[in-house]
Each structure stands twice: as C-alpha cells, then as structure tokens.
Structure 1
Amino acid sequence: MIMVASYCRVSTDKEDQANSFASQQRYFKEYIDRQPDWELYRVYADEGITGTSTKKRVQFNHMISDAKMGKFQIILTKEVSRFSRNILDTIGYTRELKALGVGVLFMNDGINTLEPDAELRLSIMGSIAQEESRKTSTRVKWGQTRQMERGVVFGRSMLGYDVKNGTLTINPEGAELVRLIFHKYGVEGKGTSIIAREMREAGFLTYTGNSRWNNSHIVKILKNEKYVGDLIIPVVDRKVS
C-alpha cells in the first residue's frame, strides 16, 4: 500500500469555498479512494498564510519533516501556487523530496515530480506563480496607497488611538498615558527603563492590559510614527462634537 499525503494552503476568507480546507480535503480523499493501491496518510493545511515563504507555514514544514521520516511516498497538492509562490522554494523542496523518493503531484498542473521533464515544467509554472504573486502584491500596495491618500488608516488600535473602519480616533484615557511617557522622556529627561518602572509602580496598564511595562514598550511608543508626528492623516478627537 502506498501512503499518500496532501498539502493545502487555504484562505481565511469564509466565502472562498473553492480553496477551503473542507473542499480540498474532500477532493483529495475522494481522489485517493479511487486509487486501489493508495491510502491517505494525512492532510496538511496552512490557513491564511502567504505562499511566498515557507518559514511561517507550520504544516508545510511538518510535512517535510514527516517525509524525511518516510511516513509517505506521495504528496498531492492542488497546483504549484498552493505549494509555493517562490520558485526557489518550489524547486528546492521538490528536489529534496525526490531525493527521498517522495513525489509531488500537482493536480491542476498535471505535473509529477518523479517524471523526467517535471523540473522544467515546474520551473515554468513556478515562475508564473511567483510573478502573479508579485503583481498581486503590487496591486494591493497601489490600492492601499490610494486609500491612504484619501485618509484611510490601515493597522490596529493602539494605546491612545482606536482604529475602526479606516478611521483613527483618539482614545482619551490612552492618550493621557502617551503624553505622560513623552513628558517623562522629553521634559524630565528620564530613561526608558526608569519610565517603565514608574509606569509599573503607578499601576498603569499597556494597551493589551498588561501592568508589566518594560523598556521595549517605552521605546516602541517613543519611536512610533503615529505618536512622533511622522504620519499625516485625519484624526477624530472624541472630545470634539
């Protein structure tokens, strides 16, 4: 019996049913069931993680580790872009797997890495996937830049500021703490470690509700572009009617 694994990289978008974990898992299971000598070992899936790098893809790296241990002989994946959008990663990992006797079958692309011409075809498809990823990134950045020019704010809420629906709003309670930190540093001339200790002793909480202020908390606040004035955007003050 040939043990077969499958790899999915899925979107966190609940509307993206075509690439959902459940639909891919069902597809691979049904495909493997139709092969008389195959048995499904495991489905590995990374959710909502970019395909341009494998460093943060926990399940992908787990799969490679299991392959080195000889737990399966074949990996099924939907297409090259699901496996990786980085051509060097694609070629490097498929070569490594082939040396281990593990073939990768890219279903939609019709590529089996154990075949003689697979690397050439994979290089072409991998290059296309990488270029498409670059174009997508460029389009997203362009769109975000145009929205930022209109005053739309990207990012999360932070101490002194609330971000909601693209609008930055001053949070009065948090803003007082930010002003206090800058006063201690700029006017009183205190170091970041001393400021952190005084914030702890006073019982003030960080944005995450932590009372354990440390040097890095203070440094990040003092360098943040939204506090020091390097970012020009419309800000809503709750005290203004």
Structure 2
Amino acid sequence: MRIAFYGRYSSDNQRETSIEDQRRIVTRWAEQHGHTLVTEFTDYATSAASLKILNGLQQALHAATGTPAPFDALVIDQLSRLSRDIGDTDAIVKQLKFLDIRIIAVQDGIDTAQETTKISVTVKSLVNEIFLDDLRKTTKRGLDGQFLKGFSTGGRTYGYRSEPVYDPAGRIDAHGHAIPIGYRLFIDEAEAAILRDLFRRFTEGMCEKSIAKDLNRTYPGQNWRPNTIYMMLRNCKYVGRFSFNRREWRKHPTTGRRVCRWRPKEQWEEQVFEDLRIIDDDTWEKVQTRLSTRQHLFAGRKSRTTHLLSGLLICHRCGGRYSIIGQTYYGCRNHFESDTCSNDIRIRREAIENLVISSLTRNLLGWLETIRTAATRRCKPAGSDAGTHDKQRLKTLRQQADAIMAVVRSGRLTGRALEETLTTYQQLWNQVETMEKETRAATHQDRPVEIHYDPAVVQEFLAHLPETLHTDVRLGREFLQETLQHVRIEDGERRQTRCPVCGEEQGKLSPQHMQTHGLTLDQAYRGFPGLGFTKKARLIIQPSPSGILNTLKVCGLKVAGAGFEPATFGL
C-alpha cells in the first residue's frame, strides 16, 4: 500500500525535531506492515485549532483529489496531528473516505477503513478538542497569576527589555540550568530616548508619516512605518500603566483565522509601575488630545476603498507592495510611507488598471495555448506498459503469497508459527496490492493530458471582461489575484514631458506649472489622456497557470487525463 505521511507541531516553543519523531514512528510502522512511503506533508509551528490555516494538510487533501490518487492512505502519528476541532476532523475523514483513501493514526490504533473505528474517531476527536479548551483556560489562568505578581505576560514592547527572575529555591532543569519563575521588564534607555523624541515630534505638529521618514533617516535599519508610530502614540505602557485581560482571540468559524474581541471593561485588570514610565503626563496628555481631535474631524470619513490591483503590484527595487498614494496614484509603499526605498515612480490608478486588463485580455488565449502545449509535451507517449522486471516481480510475489496460504490452509501450523506466517503473508500481499496500483497508475498517466476549450467562447468571455472587472471591483480583484501571480513594476527610461497647454518641454510636469494655466494636475491628466507619465514604467505580468485553468472553467474549459499540476512554463 502506498502511504503519505503528515506531521505537524503546534508552536515555535516546541522542538522542530517533533516532526522527525513523528516521521520515525510512521516509517517504522510502514516497514513492519510492508507499506511504501511515497510522499509526505508537514506543517511547522502551526496550531491545529483550524483546518484552514494548515497549509501542509491542505496540500495533502488537494493531492488526494488527483486522478489517480498519489497515495492510498494518509498516515499520522496521532489523530490530534490532523486537527483538534471535532468538526474539522470529521470533514477530513469524510472527504478522504469519499476518495477511497484511509486515515491511519498509528499510536491511536485508528484506521478509517474499519467500520468499528467511527466511534473511536469521534471520541478521540472530542477528547482532543476538550484538551485544547482546557489548555486555553490553563494558560489564561497562569498568565493572570504572572501579571498580578508584576511579571511580563506578553511579547517584547519597544522601549523595554525583559530579564528572567529565577526560582529562589534554586531549582534547575534536566540540563542543569536555573528555572525562571517569570520575566520582569526594565527600561531600555537607548530605545526610550527614541520614544521621547518620537512623542516630542508629534506634539510639535508632525504627522506619523513624516515622523517615520525622519526616524528611518536618523536610525536606519529599523523600518519605521506610520501605523507603527500611531500604535506607539496610543500605548499607555509608556506612562507606566500596564493592562491585562482587555482582549480575547476567537477563531472565526468560516475563515479559521483568529479575530480579536474586546472584553467587558469590568474584566480588565490594570497595574501602575512608575519605575517603567518613559513619557511624562504632560506630553502624554498633549498627544492624546491631538489624536482625539483628529479622530473627531474624520469621524464621518468613509471606510477604505477596495482597489482592483491591491496586493498585485510589486516594486522591483525593494520587493515591497505598491499601494494607493493620494487616492489616484499607485506608488511603492516603502518609499512614500517610510522612505526606505528609492523608487519614487507614481503611476495613475486608472492608467495601470487599463494596462493590466488590456494585457490580460490580449494574452490570455496565448497563455492558455502555452499551458496546453507544455502539458502535452511533459506527458509520456500513450501506450507505454509496465516494465518486464515489474511484471516478473509481481508474479513472484503472488506465487510466494499463494504458497504461504497453502501451508496455512493445510493446518500444519499452530500458535506462534501460525501468527508469524500470517504476518509474512500479509506483508507480501500488501506489496502485491501496492505494485498493482502503481502499475494501474502508470498506465493511466501514460494517457496525455488534454485541455479542451472553445476559443470562440473564451473570446466572448474576454470581450465582456473589462466591463465586468470595473463594475464589481471586489469580484474583479478576486479574479485578478487568481489569474495573475503578480505584476512587477520596473524602471524605464526617463523622458521629457511636454506641457499639453503651452507646449513647453519640462523634465517633470509640476502642479505649479499647471496652475499657471488654471488646471490641477489631475485635470491635466484627464483632459489630455495622451500626456503619459513623467517616467516610463515597464510592467512585467506573471500569470498563474493553475489560476487560469480554474477561472476559465466558466467558459467550459475541461482538463482530462492524469493528475496534472500546471507549473509556470516560463510564461
């Protein structure tokens, strides 16, 4: 039988060798039972609270849908490695059972091929979920006690350092190291000086973006961002007020992601540590007053708009994302927000959206044909058979298994000898089944992959695509993120810009010059669409072959043949 191994450990605090231990247990079990380990999937430092965030497990489930399936059983150390959510575990078992793939938990003695294991799976899944609930409560109770003792209960906060407090009884661990009973915070004077400078700049009228740029120039290497500055300005720890139990994290039932929820105020706990104060009360009050005033001014502001190319545009210099700058332009976020990138190219939103959409509609059929050609070329020619050696090996195994069974049926063996003989027979027969399935899979894979589509239907789809993308921006964004991997923006050659009104050539068309003609820069671009950019920007669009095949199913596109996973194919 062909088996796939899946391993997982849940947090960075656990040893990475935990997966090695799980793999060793599964490998030993496979050798004892005559099975073949053909592939493996892993999730490192990932909680099993939700199936949706387990990328390795998702890959295993996706691979299981191949035709034919690449493995006959998914083998794990314990059922808790799959999930600690009873609903997720049940969904995984049902999905793989539908595909005729077994789940085997070695240490739990569970094999979903046996009907009697249904109760065992349910009970074990319930125990795993209850364990996670109890662990959550125990952890919360322990942190509550640490906070009341004055110890740190969270991650590192800028401006402070933590030092361990060791057990006064002198206890040591198995390695001879002293055991800490908690961690106390102390002010980091170098970082505290930067914080005081940050607060001073804000009280003098500077905004978060300007402060971030100044700090990045003054203290390079720390990559300050406006939102980082804002969160620091709101952090009451800097005046010595430390809070606990203000928020809780819950798992979203649909997405599986953690969602932050505020607890009722009567459950909040707070302590004041004057020795940890960095900012004086006067400065703190000035900062909070300015923040409150600004929030009041923008109280009626609409929520952030979703843009068509959000998350797709990449800067070629720093590898960061392009984002909306000033509502109408895309620009490198690292340059315009934190001044950590030298790329100052700004591209008009409407212009680049039209360029990307026109390129997509113009090239999609060609990309699809390239995928089809490459898929056919990568497959073996039809009609290939299993090798003569494999056939002879299979015949020999069958003869050995039949001979052993003949001895068993004769009744000459009893006790331990009978048990050992039956074990040998089972191992031989498992090898026979594995080789037969591999032979059938090889014969199936010899058939070339066929991608069928009607070019006329695809052309009709593409004809309506631009209007559809602009009509429903959220749907259009999902389509582009599925179809394209990314759009990389590279520098082009500089060019002279001619004023569309007076014809004067300028190195850069400035707002001040357009004001002399009674126009804003925005009106100039709208009134003279041929104006172009002050710099040429070259777009390198990288399509996603698998995304193209998935999205074009609406056009009747079908993929038939072996389990085909499209690669990049140099598109």
> In which range does the TM-score fall when normalised by the shorter chain?
0.7 to 0.9
Over residues 73-114 of structure 1, what are the superposed CA-to-partner deviations in whole Å (9 max), with x where a residue is unaligned? 101112222221111111112211222221111223332223
Q: Any idea what the Cα deviations from partners look like across 1:141-172, whole Å, max 9, x if unmatched?
A: 10111011101103333431112321111111
**Mapping of 1:142-181 within 5 angstroms?**
142-165=141-164, 166-181=183-198
Work out the CA distance in 1 between the residues paired with 2:161 and 2:44: 28
Instruction: Give the Cα separation in 2 of the matches to 1:235 and 1:65.
Output: 55
| 3-state SS of 1:101 partner | coil
- Amino acid of the residue matched to residue 30 of structure 2? I
- Distance in 2 of aligned mates of 1:204 and 1:53: 40
What is the match of residue 61 of structure 2? 64
Alpha carbons of 1:63 and 1:174: their partners in 2 closer, same or farther (altered >3 Å)?
A: same
Q: Report whether the alignment pairs 1:190 with 2:213.
A: no
In the other structure, the counterpart of 2:51 is 54
Task: Give CA-to-partner distance per residue, 1:184-204, whole Å, 9 cap, x none.
Answer: 22x223321222223234x22
State the AA in 2 paired with 1:215. P
Change in CA separation of 1:233 and 1:41 when aligned onto 2, cut-off 3 Å: farther
Please point out which of 39, 42, 53 is paired with 1:42.
Answer: 39
SS state at 1:200 partner? helix
Which shows bigger deviation, 167-176 or 93-102?
93-102
CA contact (8 A) 1:103 1:114 kept: yes
Q: Which amino acid aligns with 2:219?
A: F
Which residue matches 1:226? 237
Q: By how many angstroms is 1:135 displaced?
A: 0.4
Instruction: Specify the SS of the correspondent of 2:201.
Output: helix
For each residue in 1:3-58, what CA deviation from the matched residue of structure 2 results, as whole angstroms up to 9, or x when unmatched?
101222236545x98xx32332222112111223x210133333333221234433
CA distance in structure 1 between the partners assigned to 2:74 and 2:162 by the alignment: 43
CA distance in 2, matches of 1:119, 1:131: 19
Q: Which amino acid aligns with 2:23?
A: Q
* Structure 2 segments unaligned to the other structure (5+ residues): 165-182, 243-270, 277-571
RMSD (CA atoms) = 2.5
Task: Return closer, same or farther for 1:124/1:222 CA change in 2, 3 Å cut-off.
Answer: same
How far apart, in 2, do the equivalents of 1:235 and 1:114 lie? Answer: 64
SS at structure 2 position matched to 1:45: strand
The secondary structure found in structure 2 opposite 1:34 is: helix
* Whole-angstrom CA distance in 2 between matches of 1:41 and 1:151: 52
Matched letter for residue 21 of structure 2? S
Other-structure match for 1:200: 216
Q: Distance in 2 between matches of 1:230 and 1:236?
A: 11
Instruction: Trace 1:94-105 onto structure 2 (pairs within 5 A).
Output: 94-105=93-104
Question: Alpha-carbon deviations, 1:103-141, whole Å to 9, x = none?
Answer: 111223332223335444322221111011100111111
Matches of 1:167 and 1:58, distance apart in 2:
36
Structure 2 distance, partners of 1:229, 1:58, is 41
Gaps of 5+ in 1: none
State which drifts further: 166-175 or 189-198.
189-198
Give the whole-Å Cα distance in 1 for the aligned partners of 2:89 and 2:44: 19
Per the normalisation by structure 1, the TM-score is 0.82
Q: Distance in 1 between matches of 2:272 and 2:106?
A: 47
Could you tell me how far apart the structure 1 residues matched to 2:155 and 2:204 are?
Answer: 30
Between the aligned partners of 1:113 and 1:224, the Cα distance in structure 2 is 52
Kindly provide the amino acid, as one letter, of the partner of residue 216 in structure 2. R
Please report how far the alpha carbon of residue 175 of structure 1 lies from its aligned counterpart in structure 2 after TM superposition.
0.6
- Give the paired residue count: 226
Cα 1:22/1:235, change in 2 over 3 Å = farther
Paired with 1:10 and 1:221, the residues of 2 have a C-alpha distance of 33
Letter in 1 for 2:193: E
| Cα separation, 2, equivalents of 1:42 and 1:184 | 57
Contact kept in structure 1, 2:26 and 2:106, CA below 8 Å:
no
Tell me, in whole angstroms, the C-alpha distance in 2 between the residues paired with 1:100 and 1:235. 63
Distance (Å, rounded) in 1 between the aligned partners of 2:136 and 2:47: 11
Task: Tell me which moved more, 172-181 or 99-108.
Answer: 99-108
The structure whose RCO (Cα within 8 Å, separation 6+) is larger is 1
Aligned to 2:470: none
Decide whether the 8 Å contact of 1:111 with 1:122 is kept in 2.
Answer: yes
Q: 1:44 to 1:228 in 2, by over 3 A?
A: farther
Partner SS for 1:114:
coil
Residue 94 to residue 233, structure 1, CA distance change in 2 (3 Å): farther
Q: Distance in 1 between matches of 2:4 and 2:275?
A: 52
Structure 1: distance between partners of 2:126 and 2:231: 39
SS of the residue corresponding to residue 190 of structure 2 reads helix
